[in-house]
Amino acid sequence: MRIKRLEIIGFKSFVDKVEIDFQDGVTAIVGPNGCGKSNIVDAIRWAMGEQSARNLRGKSMEDVIFNGSETRKPHGMAEVSLIFDNEDGLAPPAFAQYAEIMVTRRLYRSGESEYLLNKTPCRLLDIAELFMDTGVGRRAYSIIEQGKIGFILNAKPEERRFLIEEAAGVTKFKARKKTAIRKIDATRQNLLRLGDIISEVN
Ligand code: ATP
């Protein structure tokens, strides 16, 4: 899955709608200090479901909403859409018929937030599953920020294993195993409770 386009409205310094097309090959974003280069990377990571305000260089998630300038009033909502092409067919089978996949995240000042997949409301989990094992995703190796190469080189083998598992395509199965184990545990607890009730009734 390749990022084709990014659309931003009301996110950090991008008050008006900005569209960035990513061509094949390497894209470099250049500009003077403070012009918003890192905000573009933050927007990509946020749309992919980043949950930590700190990882987006803020104190609370509300900090991603444009908070006004000398000439513009603060915005009530931030919205970022990422458009991927699915020509390599790496997206899950449910998306096989789509040549393009659009992931959208919105956050209102009220705290209300929304995720959309191809303009249809969805859960954060659906977004996470879409990216698993594709090498994209908020924690995957598609975003190598300052300091990450050093982190990878200095990481312990267990930490580095995460990147290898993502590339090998086992992340999805590990996540599903974790969910299944949680369900088995809950069912075990229910069976225990049921056993107690049965013995009380008898
Ligand atoms: P550098 O080259 O110094 O790393 P940069 O081009 O990466 O800079 P960013 O860090 O992306 O710049 O952008 C910083 C700018 O974004 C600052 O001017 C800051 O005031 C602005 N900014 C950040 N959050 C918001 C927000 N919520 N509302 C309005 N402006 C914001």
ipTM score for this prediction: 0.96
Rounded distance from Cα 98 to ligand 1 centre (Å): 35
Pairing of strands 100-108, 18-21: unpaired
Rounded distance between C-alpha atoms, residue 202 and residue 196, angstroms: 10
Q: Return binding residues for ATP.
A: 32-39
86 pLDDT more than 90: no
User: What confidence score (pLDDT) does residue 137 get?
Assistant: 65
Contacts of 69 (CB under 8 A, 6+ apart): 15
**Could you tell me if the CB of 46 is within 6 A of ligand 1?**
no
List, in sequence order, every residue forming a beta bridge with 102; answer none if it has no partner: 83
Backbone angles phi, psi at 89, to 5 degrees: 65, 25
Domain extents for the chain?
A: 2-134
Rounded distance from Cα 40 to ligand 1 centre (Å): 10
Nearest to 2 by CA among 94, 92, 95, 83: 83
Instruction: Kindly list the distances between the CA atom of residue 109 and the CA atoms of 17, 45, 52, 53, in Å, as whole numbers in the listed order.
Output: 18, 19, 17, 15
**Could you tell me if the CB of 106 is within 6 A of ligand 1?**
no
- The atom of ligand 1 lying closest to the CA of 63 is 27
- The atom of ligand 1 lying closest to the CA of 66 is 28
Rounded distance from Cα 131 to ligand 1 centre (Å): 27
State the pTM of this model: 0.80
User: What confidence score (pLDDT) does residue 135 get?
Assistant: 66
Residue with the bigger pLDDT between 172 and 120: it is 120
Which tokens belong to 98?
Answer: 């789509």
Residues 33-42 have a mean pLDDT of: 93
Rounded distance between C-alpha atoms, residue 95 and residue 143, angstroms: 23
**Could you tell me if the CB of 33 is within 6 A of ligand 1?**
yes
Q: Return binding residues.
A: 32-39
Rounded distance from Cα 127 to ligand 1 centre (Å): 26
**Could you tell me if the CB of 32 is within 6 A of ligand 1?**
no
What is the domain class of 2-134 according to CATH?
Answer: alpha beta
Rounded distance between C-alpha atoms, residue 51 and residue 61, angstroms: 8
Rounded distance from Cα 107 to ligand 1 centre (Å): 18
Q: Which of 10-24, 80-94, 104-118, 142-156 has the lowest mean pLDDT?
A: 142-156
